[in-house]
Amino acid sequence: MNDVVLIDWGGGNIGSVRYALDRLGARAVLSADADTIANAPRVILPGVGAAPPAMARLRELGLVDTIRTLQAPLLGICLGMQLLYEASEEGEVECLGLLPGRVSRLASAPGLRVPHMGWNRLEPLAPSPLLDGIDKGAWAYFVHGYVAPVTTDTLASTGHGARFASVAARGRCFGAQFHPERSAGTGQRLLANFLRMETA
């Protein structure tokens, strides 16, 4: 049986996420089949790109309701995390609605690089099995121009100008704005923690 299914909608980082899972010894498969995803013990929604075409592709594949009704742990990565929210300012698109809130463009300021690209620190805000073993101030690698708000669902925040949600969760739904597959020990630990989460 597979340990985790990666939703194969065309997200640019799917290959590197799968490789990171392979290094952890996980049995990971790529799939765009609704039944395979619905019956997976764990699901990852990877993503690099823009919210409107990503949501359009998920609708085209008939996967929106499948993702919304998953009973297994779900992890959204980068754009995949942003798609978990109700909507995105990027193209004013409706997203999956699994996390309350609206994704907005990262505000620019003098001397502040947007998109946010590079290493930055995680500031834990709430305990979670997803963050077990990840220290306060741990470094993670980011590439993004849009951000989710800091809310009661935020497990960790990061500052780039204003603070934004870098890890979030509600129920069995989790999100990481950074790229765990490019974040060395921090990312490896987060993925390992997700693989240990109990299935439905």
94 catalytic? Reply is no
CA 127 to chain centre: 18
Assign 3-state DSSP to the chain and report helix, strand, coil percentages, each to 5.
Answer: 30, 30, 40
181 catalytic? Reply is yes
Cβ neighbours for 115, distance < 8 A, ≥ 6 positions apart? 106, 143, 144, 145
Question: What secondary structure letter does DSSP report for 113?
Answer: -
From the candidates 90, 95, 160, 181, give the one annotated as an active-site residue.
181
3-class SS at 179?
coil
Is 54 exposed, middle or buried, given 0-12, 13-18 or 19+ CB atoms closer than 10 A? Answer: buried
144 catalytic? Reply is no
From the candidates 116, 144, 160, 179, give the one annotated as an active-site residue.
179
Contact call for residues 62 and 68 (beta carbons, < 8 A): no
Contact call for residues 83 and 149 (beta carbons, < 8 A): no
Rounded distance, CA 65 to CA 96, Å? 9
From the candidates 78, 95, 144, 173, give the one annotated as an active-site residue.
78
Q: In what order do the strands lie in the sheet with 93-94?
A: 93-94, 85-88, 99-105, 146-147
The residues annotated as belonging to the active site are 78, 179, 181
